[in-house]
Structure 1
Amino acid sequence: MTVTRPRGMTEQAAQAAVDQACRMLRLPTIRRQFGDLAEAATREQQTYLGFLAELLLAECDNRNRRRSDRQIKAAAFPRRKSLREFDFDANPHLDAAIVHTLAACDWVAKGAPLCLIGDSGTGKSHLLIALGTEAAMKGHRVRYTLAAKLVNELVEAADDKQLNKTIARYGRVDLLCIDELGYMELDRRGAELLFQVLTEREEKASVAIASNESFGGWTKTFTDPRLCAAIADRLTFGGNIIETGTDSYRLAQTRARTADAH
């Protein structure tokens, strides 16, 4: 298919030609916006080069947004969370500067781990999802899962003789976010399978976890002391540890609303 280019085309013919060319070149943003941008360029007396730059930048911006949306969707976060929504004033244990430095995602590029440790309601999952979202927006492949769900999937894969394939799939993402580690005791088989996933990613790709147990309490989750130590080593070596404290932000909010109601 070719685009006809008659000389001295009318305004209507030019618009039709641009529309046709944008469809062929798959430039949906330019196709939607070139009319408005052309009018703005005329009003502002832009040069041809300036007008072209506006068109191309609009297309690039939209492609980046669509790419970010695809990456965020592929991460399978259970809900949307952002750092802008996080109330750092409500949690004095957290250093906002450190968290925002992590949002630059250099640690993801380096394949370093991240541990978010604290009691329920202190913002661990919020930060895990928010930092995972930041990584996805920067073009990293991210996957979110609950610890128990991941272990169940690994056990089923092992039973179906698909374990290597499943571990390889989790090994391909740049950042694996594991939430609610420590909420459930894992039997030896489940812990060993999780260990295989962590070993596959060690010093190559990042793992970020959120746990309600301090490292000293991980023996409740991983009952084999040697395996527990090995997993803790995989998740902390060369990484970042953020402690969110023990004071539940959600509980404090509930108490405040109750007090206001009375």
Structure 2
Amino acid sequence: MTGTTRVPSPRAAADGGLDAVDAAIIDACVALRLPTVRDNYAEIVENALRQKANYRGFLLELLTSECEHREERRKERLVRGANFHRPKRIEDFDYGANHNVQPEEVNALTDPSWVLSGQPLCLIGGSGTGKSHLLIGIGTAIAEAGLKVRYTTTAGLVNELIEAQHDKQLTRTIHKYGRYDLLCLDEFGYLNLDKTGAKLLFQVFTEREERRSIAVASNAPFGEWNKTFTDERLCGAIVDRLTFKGHVIETGHDSYRLMTTLAEREAA
């Protein structure tokens, strides 16, 4: 076979079905688990004929279509596995509604290098200022970059740890949360944690320290975290782990949701 050999057209049998060669190709795609090649085979052949592609070009288009589709499926699996409670993307964040947030700073965090370095991220601001949107949007971008991400609320994680402790599965659960490349904790500081819950959460932080990244969204500044973590030493240790070599984005206190509601009422 030479580089100038042309691609033959798929031939149809008299009854309108595939001929033996085309049927064998489809069967091979099934056996080799190449669903994109199987589904797009006829269309790619016709494109190759119109473009007068040689066999190498035809094969390249077939394999490229399969690789691209697999990459998209992989991204979708990683995003689903992150367990985001609602879809949010950084591209949809309204920077015009919150001038406290700089797009350059946020866009830099969609690159996974800070996660691979084990750096933390803190999103601090009032309710309705876009913290959760940024947390989920950044987490989605990191998952689509090929890393394992997990999203949960802080209360949800603490409750899971308490249940695991009761079931004598605490070590296993902590190790599970230690394996994610990025752990996204929403609603951090919304609820006061008793000493037991705070200590369990701290164990997860210790498991991930400087190896795996944690991103938190909190409506309280660092100086008020002692209301959530009543043990002063424990609070200081948690703040230290979430700020050391980390990124801090302050989203302010003017609620975007409230401003949007007021603007809609005024317009009405």
TM-score, normalised via structure 2 length: 0.92
CA distance in 1, matches of 2:129, 2:136: 14
Q: Equivalent of 1:177, from 168, 171, 184?
A: 184
CA distance in 1, matches of 2:191, 2:254: 21
**1:4 — aligned with what?**
none
Q: Equivalent of 1:86, from 86, 93, 118?
A: 93
Q: Is the 8 A contact 2:131 2:251 kept in 1?
A: yes
Deviation at 1:9, TM superposition (A): 11
Change (3 A) 1:21 1:65: same
- Alignment deviations for residues 196-250 of structure 1 (CA, whole Å, 9 cap, x no partner): 0000000111111000001011011111111001001111111111111111111
**1:59 — aligned with what?**
66
- Work out whether 1:233 is the aligned partner of 2:240: yes
**2:16 — aligned with what?**
none
Q: Is the 8 A contact 2:10 2:42 kept in 1?
A: no
Q: Equivalent of 1:102, from 94, 109, 115?
A: 109
CA distance in 2, matches of 1:60, 1:195: 41
Q: Equivalent of 1:112, from 115, 119, 124?
A: 119
SS in 2 for 1:132: helix
Q: Is the 8 A contact 2:122 2:243 kept in 1?
A: yes
**2:212 — aligned with what?**
205
- Work out whether 1:20 is the aligned partner of 2:27: yes
Counting aligned pairs with the same residue, the percent is: 55
**2:53 — aligned with what?**
46
Q: Equivalent of 1:72, from 79, 86, 106?
A: 79
- Alignment deviations for residues 141-162 of structure 1 (CA, whole Å, 9 cap, x no partner): 1111100111111111112211
Paired residues for 1:128-207 under 5 Å:
128-207=135-214
CA distance in 2, matches of 1:109, 1:202: 13
**1:5 — aligned with what?**
none
CA distance in 2, matches of 1:10, 1:150: 56
User: Any runs of at least 4 consecutive aligned residues in structure 1 with deviations exceeding 3 A, and if so which?
Assistant: none
- Work out whether 1:126 is the aligned partner of 2:133: yes
CA distance in 1, matches of 2:87, 2:10: 48
Q: Equivalent of 1:222, from 226, 229, 236?
A: 229
Q: Is the 8 A contact 2:115 2:182 kept in 1?
A: yes
Q: How many residues align?
A: 254
CA distance in 2, matches of 1:49, 1:89: 49
SS in 2 for 1:210: strand
- Alignment deviations for residues 46-90 of structure 1 (CA, whole Å, 9 cap, x no partner): 222111111111101110111111111111100100011110111
RMSD: 1.4
SS in 2 for 1:178: strand
CA distance in 2, matches of 1:149, 1:39: 53
TM-score, normalised via structure 1 length: 0.94
Structure 2 gap segments, 5+ residues each: 1-7, 12-18
Amino acid at match of 1:62: H
Q: Which has the larger displacement, 192-201 or 156-165? A: 156-165
Deviation at 1:10, TM superposition (A): 7.8
Amino acid at match of 1:209: V
Deviation at 1:165, TM superposition (A): 0.7
**1:249 — aligned with what?**
256
Q: Which has the larger displacement, 45-54 or 199-208? A: 45-54
Change (3 A) 1:9 1:126: closer
Q: Is the 8 A contact 2:9 2:49 kept in 1?
A: no
- Alignment deviations for residues 117-160 of structure 1 (CA, whole Å, 9 cap, x no partner): 11000000001011111111111111111001111111111122
CA distance in 2, matches of 1:165, 1:89: 44
CA distance in 2, matches of 1:25, 1:46: 24
Deviation at 1:106, TM superposition (A): 1.1
